[in-house]
Amino acid sequence: GAGVSQTPSNKVTEKGKYVELRCDPISGHTALYWYRQSLGQGPEFLIYFQGTGAADDSGLPNDRFFAVRPEGSVSTLKIQRTERGDSAVYLCASSVDRVTGELFFGEGSRLTVL
Amino acid sequence: GEDVEQSLFLSVREGDSSVINCTYTDSSSTYLYWYKQEPGAGLQLLTYIFSNMDMKQDQRLTVLLNKKDKHLSLRIADTQTGDSAIYFCAETSGATNKLIFGTGTLLAVQP
Protein backbone atom coordinates (compact mmCIF):
# COMPACT_ATOMS: atom_id res chain seq x y z
CA GLY A 1 0.00 0.00 0.00
CA ALA A 2 0.92 3.64 -0.20
CA GLY A 3 1.16 4.34 3.51
CA VAL A 4 1.76 2.71 6.88
CA SER A 5 -1.07 0.33 7.67
CA GLN A 6 -2.07 -0.63 11.21
CA THR A 7 -4.54 -3.26 12.31
CA PRO A 8 -6.86 -3.42 14.11
CA SER A 9 -7.90 0.21 14.12
CA ASN A 10 -9.83 -0.41 17.34
CA LYS A 11 -9.41 -3.12 19.94
CA VAL A 12 -11.44 -3.51 23.12
CA THR A 13 -10.24 -6.13 25.56
CA GLU A 14 -10.62 -7.12 29.16
CA LYS A 15 -8.03 -6.63 31.86
CA GLY A 16 -5.58 -9.51 31.91
CA LYS A 17 -5.99 -10.52 28.28
CA TYR A 18 -3.26 -10.77 25.63
CA VAL A 19 -3.27 -8.35 22.66
CA GLU A 20 -1.37 -8.17 19.38
CA LEU A 21 -1.20 -5.04 17.24
CA ARG A 22 0.14 -5.21 13.69
CA CYS A 23 2.03 -2.68 11.61
CA ASP A 24 2.74 -2.92 7.89
CA PRO A 25 5.30 -0.24 6.99
CA ILE A 26 5.88 1.48 3.68
CA SER A 27 7.66 -0.87 1.30
CA GLY A 28 11.42 -0.38 1.39
CA HIS A 29 11.47 1.43 4.73
CA THR A 30 14.05 -0.29 6.91
CA ALA A 31 13.38 1.70 10.09
CA LEU A 32 10.19 1.04 12.06
CA TYR A 33 9.04 2.72 15.27
CA TRP A 34 6.28 2.09 17.80
CA TYR A 35 4.89 4.96 19.85
CA ARG A 36 2.06 5.16 22.37
CA GLN A 37 -0.19 8.22 22.64
CA SER A 38 -2.45 8.72 25.63
CA LEU A 39 -5.28 11.23 25.57
CA GLY A 40 -3.97 14.80 25.61
CA GLN A 41 -0.34 13.73 25.38
CA GLY A 42 2.32 13.60 22.72
CA PRO A 43 3.51 10.29 21.27
CA GLU A 44 5.74 8.39 23.69
CA PHE A 45 8.57 6.34 22.17
CA LEU A 46 8.40 2.58 22.77
CA ILE A 47 10.79 0.76 20.42
CA TYR A 48 12.76 1.21 17.21
CA PHE A 49 13.70 -1.49 14.69
CA GLN A 50 16.40 -1.21 12.08
CA GLY A 51 15.75 -4.19 9.82
CA THR A 52 14.89 -7.24 11.91
CA GLY A 53 16.60 -6.18 15.11
CA ALA A 54 15.41 -3.91 17.90
CA ALA A 55 18.01 -1.14 17.86
CA ASP A 56 16.44 0.70 20.81
CA ASP A 57 13.79 -0.75 23.13
CA SER A 58 14.38 1.71 25.95
CA GLY A 59 10.80 3.00 25.82
CA LEU A 60 9.03 -0.29 26.54
CA PRO A 61 7.40 0.34 29.94
CA ASN A 62 7.84 -3.18 31.37
CA ASP A 63 8.26 -6.82 30.39
CA ARG A 64 4.57 -7.20 29.50
CA PHE A 65 5.37 -5.35 26.27
CA PHE A 66 7.25 -7.04 23.47
CA ALA A 67 7.65 -6.36 19.74
CA VAL A 68 8.98 -8.39 16.84
CA ARG A 69 9.83 -7.80 13.20
CA PRO A 70 11.00 -11.22 12.03
CA GLU A 71 11.45 -10.52 8.32
CA GLY A 72 12.32 -6.85 8.49
CA SER A 73 8.94 -5.68 7.23
CA VAL A 74 5.73 -6.27 9.21
CA SER A 75 5.98 -5.74 12.96
CA THR A 76 3.78 -6.95 15.79
CA LEU A 77 3.51 -5.28 19.19
CA LYS A 78 2.47 -7.78 21.85
CA ILE A 79 1.02 -6.85 25.23
CA GLN A 80 0.55 -9.53 27.87
CA ARG A 81 -1.76 -9.36 30.89
CA THR A 82 -3.22 -6.05 29.77
CA GLU A 83 -4.00 -3.39 32.37
CA ARG A 84 -6.41 -0.46 32.22
CA GLY A 85 -3.43 1.88 32.09
CA ASP A 86 -2.40 0.34 28.76
CA SER A 87 -5.39 2.01 27.10
CA ALA A 88 -4.02 4.39 24.46
CA VAL A 89 -3.52 4.80 20.73
CA TYR A 90 -0.53 2.78 19.56
CA LEU A 91 1.18 4.43 16.61
CA CYS A 92 3.54 2.85 14.16
CA ALA A 93 5.88 4.81 11.90
CA SER A 94 8.42 3.89 9.28
CA SER A 95 11.32 5.73 7.75
CA VAL A 96 13.75 5.27 4.91
CA ASP A 97 16.02 8.06 6.02
CA ARG A 98 17.32 7.61 9.54
CA VAL A 99 19.51 10.71 9.27
CA THR A 100 16.74 13.26 8.81
CA GLY A 101 14.30 11.22 10.84
CA GLU A 102 11.30 11.88 8.64
CA LEU A 103 8.76 9.41 9.96
CA PHE A 104 5.61 8.34 8.16
CA PHE A 105 2.91 7.45 10.65
CA GLY A 106 -0.02 5.10 10.44
CA GLU A 107 -3.42 6.10 11.80
CA GLY A 108 -2.89 4.04 14.93
CA SER A 109 -4.57 1.23 16.80
CA ARG A 110 -6.81 2.42 19.61
CA LEU A 111 -6.61 -0.03 22.51
CA THR A 112 -9.22 0.07 25.27
CA VAL A 113 -8.76 -2.19 28.28
CA LEU A 114 -11.91 -2.59 30.35
CA GLY B 1 16.37 13.55 30.83
CA GLU B 2 14.58 14.15 27.59
CA ASP B 3 11.74 16.64 27.85
CA VAL B 4 10.05 18.72 25.17
CA GLU B 5 7.64 21.38 26.41
CA GLN B 6 4.89 23.24 24.57
CA SER B 7 2.01 25.45 25.56
CA LEU B 8 -1.26 23.54 25.45
CA PHE B 9 -3.56 25.84 23.50
CA LEU B 10 -3.53 28.74 21.04
CA SER B 11 -6.53 30.51 19.56
CA VAL B 12 -6.23 32.87 16.59
CA ARG B 13 -8.54 34.50 14.05
CA GLU B 14 -8.51 33.46 10.43
CA GLY B 15 -5.98 35.52 8.49
CA ASP B 16 -3.80 36.28 11.53
CA SER B 17 -0.37 34.78 12.13
CA SER B 18 0.04 31.93 14.62
CA VAL B 19 3.20 31.33 16.61
CA ILE B 20 3.65 28.02 18.40
CA ASN B 21 6.57 27.71 20.78
CA CYS B 22 8.59 24.77 22.04
CA THR B 23 11.54 24.24 24.36
CA TYR B 24 13.68 21.14 24.21
CA THR B 25 16.48 19.70 26.30
CA ASP B 26 18.83 17.62 24.15
CA SER B 27 21.50 20.02 22.90
CA SER B 28 22.93 17.27 20.67
CA SER B 29 19.73 17.00 18.61
CA THR B 30 20.69 16.99 14.95
CA TYR B 31 17.27 17.89 13.63
CA LEU B 32 14.15 19.43 15.12
CA TYR B 33 10.70 18.84 13.70
CA TRP B 34 7.14 20.08 13.55
CA TYR B 35 4.39 17.51 13.06
CA LYS B 36 0.67 18.15 12.60
CA GLN B 37 -2.13 15.89 13.85
CA GLU B 38 -5.67 16.34 12.62
CA PRO B 39 -8.65 14.51 14.19
CA GLY B 40 -8.81 10.90 13.03
CA ALA B 41 -5.63 11.20 11.00
CA GLY B 42 -2.04 10.14 11.48
CA LEU B 43 0.78 12.48 12.39
CA GLN B 44 2.12 14.34 9.38
CA LEU B 45 5.54 15.94 9.07
CA LEU B 46 5.19 19.67 8.36
CA THR B 47 8.79 20.78 8.32
CA TYR B 48 12.15 20.25 9.96
CA ILE B 49 15.26 22.28 10.59
CA PHE B 50 18.88 21.23 10.83
CA SER B 51 20.45 22.22 14.12
CA ASN B 52 23.08 24.48 12.51
CA MET B 53 20.38 26.69 10.98
CA ASP B 54 18.61 29.64 12.62
CA MET B 55 15.65 29.88 10.33
CA LYS B 56 13.84 27.95 7.65
CA GLN B 57 10.96 29.22 5.53
CA ASP B 58 8.59 27.03 3.58
CA GLN B 59 5.63 28.87 2.00
CA ARG B 60 3.41 30.00 4.94
CA LEU B 61 5.61 28.27 7.53
CA THR B 62 8.63 29.84 9.22
CA VAL B 63 10.71 27.89 11.73
CA LEU B 64 13.02 29.76 14.09
CA LEU B 65 15.67 27.98 16.15
CA ASN B 66 17.50 29.51 19.10
CA LYS B 67 20.02 26.83 19.95
CA LYS B 68 21.47 28.73 22.90
CA ASP B 69 18.09 28.85 24.65
CA LYS B 70 16.93 25.48 23.17
CA HIS B 71 13.85 27.22 21.82
CA LEU B 72 12.01 26.35 18.62
CA SER B 73 9.04 28.17 17.14
CA LEU B 74 6.67 27.66 14.24
CA ARG B 75 5.02 30.65 12.64
CA ILE B 76 2.04 30.11 10.33
CA ALA B 77 1.23 33.15 8.21
CA ASP B 78 -2.34 33.89 7.10
CA THR B 79 -3.75 31.13 9.30
CA GLN B 80 -6.73 29.30 7.80
CA THR B 81 -9.48 27.23 9.43
CA GLY B 82 -7.90 24.18 7.82
CA ASP B 83 -4.81 24.80 9.98
CA SER B 84 -6.81 23.87 13.09
CA ALA B 85 -5.02 20.82 14.52
CA ILE B 86 -2.58 19.74 17.20
CA TYR B 87 1.02 20.67 16.48
CA PHE B 88 3.90 18.70 17.97
CA CYS B 89 7.54 19.65 18.06
CA ALA B 90 10.07 16.83 18.27
CA GLU B 91 13.79 16.44 18.80
CA THR B 92 16.11 13.61 17.85
CA SER B 93 17.73 11.87 20.76
CA GLY B 94 20.42 9.32 21.37
CA ALA B 95 22.56 7.24 19.08
CA THR B 96 19.52 5.90 17.25
CA ASN B 97 18.06 9.35 16.53
CA LYS B 98 14.68 8.39 17.89
CA LEU B 99 12.15 11.22 17.98
CA ILE B 100 11.00 12.61 21.30
CA PHE B 101 7.75 14.52 20.99
CA GLY B 102 6.38 17.42 22.95
CA THR B 103 2.97 17.47 24.59
CA GLY B 104 1.36 19.20 21.62
CA THR B 105 -0.31 22.57 21.08
CA LEU B 106 -3.94 22.67 20.04
CA LEU B 107 -4.39 25.46 17.48
CA ALA B 108 -7.97 26.70 17.14
CA VAL B 109 -8.65 29.04 14.24
CA GLN B 110 -11.77 31.18 14.58
CA PRO B 111 -13.49 32.25 11.34
Which of B40, B42, B103 has the CB atom closest to A105's CB atom?
B42
pLDDT of A32: 94
Mutate which of B36, B91, B96, B103 to test chain A, going by most A C-beta atoms within 10 A? B96
pLDDT of B11: 97
Between CA B91 and CA B99 the distance in angstroms is 6
To the nearest 10°, report the CA torsion of B8, B43, A114, A62.
-90
A101·B97 Cβ contact <8 A: yes
Which of B30, B42, B45 has the CB atom closest to A102's CB atom?
B45
| Total beta-carbon pairs less than 8 A apart between chain A and chain B | 63
Which of A99, A100, A105 has the CB atom closest to B43's CB atom?
A105
Q: What is the pLDDT of residues A87-108, one digit of tens each?
A: 999 999 999 866 666 889 999 9
Distance from CA of residue B100 to its chain's centroid? 12
Asked if residue B43 has pLDDT above 80, the reply is yes
Interface residues of chain B, partner chain A, Cβ below 8 Å: 4, 30-31, 33, 40-45, 48, 88, 92, 94-104
- B104 contacts in A (CB within 8 Å)? 40-42
pLDDT of A99: 62
Between CA A48 and CA A55 the distance in angstroms is 6
Asked if residue A59 has pLDDT above 60, the reply is yes
Q: A95 vs B41, which has greater pLDDT?
A: A95
Average pLDDT over every residue of B17-44? 89
A105·B44 Cβ contact <8 A: yes
Asked if residue A60 has pLDDT above 90, the reply is yes
Between CA B3 and CA B13 the distance in angstroms is 30
Planar angle of CA A92, A94, A98, nearest 5 degrees: 135
Interface residues of chain A, partner chain B, Cβ below 8 Å: 3-4, 33, 35, 40-45, 48, 50, 55-56, 58-59, 91, 93, 98-108
- The pLDDT-based confidence of B1 (bands split at 50, 70, 90) is very low
- The pLDDT-based confidence of B109 (bands split at 50, 70, 90) is very high
CB atoms within 10 A of CB B26: 17
Which of B30, B44, B102 has the CB atom closest to A42's CB atom?
B102
Asked if residue B36 has pLDDT above 50, the reply is yes
pLDDT of A97: 67
Q: Average per-residue pLDDT in chain B?
A: 91
Asked if residue B7 has pLDDT above 60, the reply is yes
pLDDT of B2: 60
- The string of DSSP letters for B29-52 reads -SEEEEEEE-TTS--EEEEEEETT
Q: What is the pLDDT of residues B57-91, one digit of tens each?
A: 999 999 999 999 999 999 999 999 999 999 999 98
Q: What is the pLDDT of residues A5-49, one digit of tens each?
A: 999 999 999 999 999 999 999 998 999 999 999 988 999 999 999
pLDDT of A1: 54
Q: Which residues of A86-114 are buried (b: 16+ CB within 10 A; e: fewer)?
A: bbbbbbbbbbeebebbebbbbbbbbbebe
pLDDT of B39: 83
Q: What is the pLDDT of residues B11-29, one digit of tens each?
A: 999 999 999 999 998 878 7
Measured in angstroms, the CA of A8 and the nearest CA of chain B are apart by: 14
